[in-house]
Amino acid sequence: MSIFLKWYEENGSEDAVVLSSTVSLARNLSGYPFSHLTNQTEREEIIQKITAAAARLDRLGLSMRTVDLQTTEDLQRMVLAEHRLASREFLRRSGGRVLLVSGDESVCLAIGGEDHLLISVTAAGLECEKTMRLAQQIDDLLEEQLTFAFQDRLGYLTASPDHLGTGMQASVMLHLFGMDRLSLTAKLANTVSKMGMQLYGVRAFGATHDYQITNRMTLGLTEEQAAMNLETIVRQIIDREMAAQSECLQGAERFEDRLYRTLGELQFARRLSLEELQAALSLLRVGICQKRISLPPRLLNTLAITAGEASILFGKGEFLSAGGREEARAELVRARLSEIELLK
Amino acid sequence: MLCEKCRQHPASVSYHQIIDGEEKWLCLCDGCAESFDLSHPFTEEFSDFSDPKQNLFRSRLSGRVADEPTKKRCPFCESHFDEITKTGRLGCEHCYEVFFGELRPTLDHLHGAGTVHKGKVPRRHTESDPSDRLMQLKERLQQAIESQAFEEAARLRDLIRLLEQASKGGEEA
């Protein structure tokens, strides 16, 4: 499982503020009702057809691992959610749902959700265009073998009319510590909603300063336009966030002291709760943005994703009490930190 | 039915929201629907790990409350328009043609009036003319009759009839 470098272990552009970019395409097979009306035979046929077509993805150098939710235990599902391979909503139900996941976890085909197929591509940092292109290539390859429901006027036909057109959702995860501190995020959400986008707080990465911005427009503009619009807006948000951080830290003489104490804690602690880790990662991220500390942001991404409660348990392969998980988490964090050279 | 917010004006819009699998329904009058803040993202419910589709995209005006409930069913998936407004999801690809008239206000509201697809077109997509599509369906009908799949044939026949009616209606308008 670990011969590939995962997407979150890679560097990305603007990755001090931007955690990740994801583009997903919703598709439905022509000739079948939408998922919520399919019977078991139809569900099995849909899975079989899409899985067979997905064999073509090896032309893009992608080898896909199959995860059948029917035979997946709860713990493993929680790991999948922590690794953000599928939404909790998708993972909640098991019958007729299958995930195909690439070795680096960047590409995921979710079969049998609200739409028959959701193609998702994720990359570290601000990479809307890159992820959009790869999603399109995957779609092209699948389309050689599958016929997707499509209409000239309405584009790709999706179960919910909200996604008609491109069926594409592009989203970017951001760490908005400064704007949160200055209570600017509600205003920001309002502003971006007028541009056809949605901003909301997420706890996927744990810390409370994480936000996701998503395009809402799918009809009337091309995939390229949607991806570019999102990137342009995110760049503006990054500038504002950097300014907000500087404002927050003005006169904060003890910031650097706090930063290094936090790092020391992570390096030496014997027990770490998830909340402690998340708060520490958030602070270190600000330190990186403000160039007060030299750490690769990918390290923070890796810790945020691999140190979740379920991932820790799964990694250990045995049941652990809360205290045991905290010990295992501290051990994992120490090991990861020892791999890098701390420059300052 | 009266608007559930002001309880003064008749309700004309149904607002449907699904949060963490729990469904919420609100029937509002035009005035209240206008002022109802559908976009505010910072409630507790929305701050959870969220599938944006699950939480936000469906939190829209899912359909006008019909003055007279329509008895029309989609011949392919047998969905009723009432069921569609209730779940916020269409039954199948054909529902978009069968219920286009009913869906139109919602589509205009969601995507802007008269907006058409500008993005990618599948390579194998050949249906540029609706009459081509009818031809394809008629071919499938012929095959179904020949292979004695009568249930399928009946569905296709109804679908063709509805699509023909719809295209005639479109020409008149």
Q: Where are the domains of chain A?
A: 7-245, 252-338
The alpha-carbon gap from B44 to the nearest alpha carbon of chain A, in Å, equals 10
8 Å CB contact of B40 and A189: yes
The alpha-carbon gap from A103 to the nearest alpha carbon of chain B, in Å, equals 23
- Nearest-CA neighbor of A213 among A185, A254, A183, A250? A185
- Nearest-CA neighbor of A198 among B107, B46, B72, B172? B46
Helix A185-193 vs helix A223-249: crossing angle, to nearest 10 = 160
String of DSSP letters for A225-263: HHHHHHHHHHHHHHHHHHHHHHHHHTT-TTHHHHHHHHH
Contact present, A166 and B119 (Cβ < 8 Å): yes
Alpha carbons A241 and B150: distance in angstroms, whole number: 64
Mutate to test the interface with A, among B18, B55, B90, B121 (most CBs of A within 10 A): B90
pLDDT at B75: 87
pTM, two decimals, is: 0.80
pLDDT at B41: 32
Mutate to test the interface with A, among B78, B89, B95, B131 (most CBs of A within 10 A): B89
Question: Token pair of A86, please?
Answer: 């599928």
8 Å CB contact of A92 and B51: no
- Nearest-CA neighbor of A21 among A220, A135, A173? A173
- The number of residues making up chain A comes to 344
Strand ordering across the sheet containing A210-215: A64-68, A98-102, A107-111, A117-124, A18-27, A168-175, A210-215, A197-201
Alpha carbons A108 and A111: distance in angstroms, whole number: 10
pLDDT at A226: 95
- Nearest-CA neighbor of B15 among B88, B102, B92? B88
Tell me which residue in A37, A185, A214 faces B52 most closely, judged by beta carbons. Answer: A214
Mutate to test the interface with A, among B37, B92, B123, B126 (most CBs of A within 10 A): B92
Mutate to test the interface with B, among A27, A80, A89 (most CBs of B within 10 A): A89
Residues forming beta bridges with residue A182, ordered by sequence position: none
pLDDT at B38: 44
8 Å CB contact of A153 and B117: yes
The alpha-carbon gap from B51 to the nearest alpha carbon of chain A, in Å, equals 6
Contact present, A158 and A28 (Cβ < 8 Å): yes
pLDDT at A127: 95
Alpha carbons A124 and A12: distance in angstroms, whole number: 5
Contact present, A314 and A308 (Cβ < 8 Å): no
Instruction: Tell me whether residue B62 is exposed, middle or buried, using C-beta atoms within 10 angstroms of its C-beta: 0 to 12, 13 to 18, 19 or more.
Output: buried
Query: With a cut of 70, which residues of chain B have pLDDT below it?
Result: 1-5, 7-8, 10-70, 126-132, 166-173
8 Å CB contact of B46 and A200: yes
Residues of chain A neighbouring B121 (CB-CB closer than 8 A): 150, 152
Alpha carbons B72 and B69: distance in angstroms, whole number: 9
Question: Token pair of B81, please?
Answer: 């328009």
pLDDT at B25: 58
**What ipTM was predicted for this assembly?**
0.84
Helix B150-172 vs helix B130-146: crossing angle, to nearest 10 = 160
DSSP B73: B
Alpha carbons A178 and A181: distance in angstroms, whole number: 5
8 Å CB contact of B118 and A161: no
Tell me which residue in A28, A152, A186 faces B117 most closely, judged by beta carbons. Answer: A152
Tell me which residue in A33, A166, A185 faces B91 most closely, judged by beta carbons. Answer: A33
Residues 6+ apart with CB under 8 A from A315: A306, A328, A332
8 Å CB contact of B116 and A153: yes
DSSP B79: -
The alpha-carbon gap from A133 to the nearest alpha carbon of chain B, in Å, equals 12
The alpha-carbon gap from A289 to the nearest alpha carbon of chain B, in Å, equals 25
pLDDT at B39: 37
Amino acid found at A300: L
Contact present, B92 and B77 (Cβ < 8 Å): yes
- Nearest-CA neighbor of A180 among A216, A207, A154? A207
Q: B57 touching A, CB under 8 A?
A: yes
pLDDT at A252: 76
Alpha carbons A242 and A31: distance in angstroms, whole number: 50
pLDDT in tens, B73-117: 898 899 988 888 888 899 999 999 989 888 888 888 888 888 899
Alpha carbons A334 and A263: distance in angstroms, whole number: 10
Q: What is the CA radius of gyration of chain A?
A: 21
Residues of chain A neighbouring B140 (CB-CB closer than 8 A): none
8 Å CB contact of B121 and A36: no
- Nearest-CA neighbor of A207 among A238, A252, A176? A176
Alpha carbons A251 and A87: distance in angstroms, whole number: 41
Tell me which residue in B46, B52, B119 faces A155 most closely, judged by beta carbons. Answer: B119
Q: B127 touching A, CB under 8 A?
A: yes
Q: B63 touching A, CB under 8 A?
A: no
Question: Token pair of A122, please?
Answer: 């994720």
pLDDT at B24: 54
The alpha-carbon gap from B127 to the nearest alpha carbon of chain A, in Å, equals 8
Task: Tell how far CA A144 is from the center of its chain.
Answer: 28
Q: B124 touching A, CB under 8 A?
A: yes
State whether the Cα torsion A238-A242-A245-A247 is positive or negative.
negative
Q: Please tell me the CATH superfamily of domain A7-245, with its number.
A: Glutamine synthetase/guanido kinase, catalytic domain (3.30.590.10)
A109 phi/psi in degrees, rounded to 5: -110, 115
Q: B53 touching A, CB under 8 A?
A: yes
Kindly give the confidence (pLDDT) of every residue in chain A, 344 residues in length, as a single tens digit, with 9 standing for 90 and above: 446 789 999 888 888 899 999 999 999 999 999 999 999 999 999 999 999 999 999 999 999 999 999 888 888 888 998 898 988 889 888 788 999 999 999 999 999 999 999 999 999 999 999 999 999 999 999 999 999 999 989 999 999 999 999 999 999 999 999 999 899 999 999 999 988 899 988 764 445 689 999 998 999 999 999 999 999 999 999 999 999 999 998 877 889 999 999 999 999 999 999 989 999 999 999 999 999 998 999 999 999 899 988 899 888 888 888 899 999 999 999 999 988 766 54
Determine how many CB atoms are found less than 10 A away from the CB of residue A277.
25
Q: B114 touching A, CB under 8 A?
A: no
Alpha carbons A303 and A18: distance in angstroms, whole number: 15
8 Å CB contact of A37 and B39: no
Tell me which residue in A152, A221, A222 faces B127 most closely, judged by beta carbons. Answer: A152
